[in-house]
Amino acid sequence: MKHSSLRRIIKSGIVNFFRNGLVSIATALVISLSLFLLISVLLGSVFLNSFIDELQRKVDISVYFKRTASEADILQVKSDLERLPEVKEVVYISRDDALARFRERHRGEDLVLQSLEVVGDNPFSASIEIRARDPSKYETIAAFLEREQYQALIDRDLAGEQKITYRQNQQVIDRLTAILATARAIGLALGVGLAAIAVVIAYNTVRLAIYNSRDEIAVMQLVGASYGFVRGPFVIEGILHGLIASVFTLVALYPSLWWLGTKTTIAFGGMSIFSYFVENIFSISALVFALGMVLGVLSSLLAIRRYLRV
């Protein structure tokens, strides 16, 4: 196709778009709404999966030992745990290490540090932190520690407290995973439904453009215009629907995610969905424009195939 012909096709497509005026804008808005919902679901799923992965990395079992337990016995427990296939890592924290960590955590808090001087002796117990290869394996590890030979060494009050903390964390992860799966299914269903509606509306918009241009099409057919020259403007119109809808979507996403990020950052342990959006703005924008173009062009091609006979 010659450059001049392509330019005329593009110009004609733009004229068709503005000729329909509010109908074209309304079509772009409907496509934009479906894009906004689809991208929100995808972006939310990726963000929540990252948050769940981060939360899972923080889940562990901390086992505290009686002060009378010898270091050799504790290291033996550590060695036994490391041989379990479910265990990824075991970290031993001595009483001195625990005291040093406490001092570092409360540096500058004179009243807290003075309380240590009052106690005199090191009040902390030795402990081990256990991280599993799979969060679902913590129950197996906890059951392993219930053996009598280990219970004689473990400070049951502290150990019990830590196991409760572990189970609470795991419950949070399970609930988030279930909520994510439900929200993803509902969101995708709504998004696909809106996308179908958007295609139908854009389809009718292009059909209207074909009807309004029927005299021009007849003249082009009489002078022997090519297949692509007659159909091209309506494809351009579909592309414009998708492009403008994509711009609307990105314009709406930015403030929406900024507001959502300010409200949920604390709840997600400092992670911000707005920061994630900004860091991946180019890939997200490319996805938005790709989806917008697909919806716009698809609706145009369907209308052309149904109503434009050349």
Question: Per 3-state DSSP, what percentage of the chain is helix, strand, and coil (rounded to 5)?
Answer: 75, 5, 15
Q: Give pLDDT, residue 259.
A: 87
Residue pLDDT, tens place only, 216-236:
666 555 555 565 666 777 788
- CATH classification number, 66-154, choose in 3.40.50.1370, 3.30.70.270, 3.30.70.3040, 3.40.50.12780: 3.30.70.3040
Task: Give the mean pLDDT of the chain.
Answer: 76
**What is the radius of gyration, based on Cα positions, of the chain?**
32
Nearest to 28 by CA among 211, 252, 225, 183: 252
* pLDDT tens string 124-135: 788 888 888 877
pLDDT at 110: 66
Give residue limits of the domains in the chain: 3-56+180-307, 66-154
Q: What is the pLDDT of residue 119?
A: 65
Residue 228 has a pLDDT of: 61
- Examine the pLDDT at 29 and tell me if it is beyond 80: yes
Average pLDDT of the segment spanning 82-102: 86
SS3 88: strand
* Mean pLDDT, rounded, for 268-283: 80
Share of the chain above pLDDT 70, in %: 74
Predicted confidence band of residue 101 (pLDDT cuts 50, 70, 90) = confident
Which of 8-12, 28-32, 198-202 is predicted most confidently? 28-32
Place of tokens 């299914």: 185
Distance CA(85)–CA(104), nearest Å, equals: 34
**102-138 burial string, b = 16+ CB within 10 Å, else e?**
beeeeeeeeeeeeebeeeeeeebbbbbebbbeebeeb
Supply the pLDDT for residue 227.
57
Write down the pLDDT at residue 164: 41
- Number of Cβ within a 10 Å radius of residue 265: 15
Q: How far is CA 258 from the centre of its chain?
A: 15
Give pLDDT, residue 247. 92
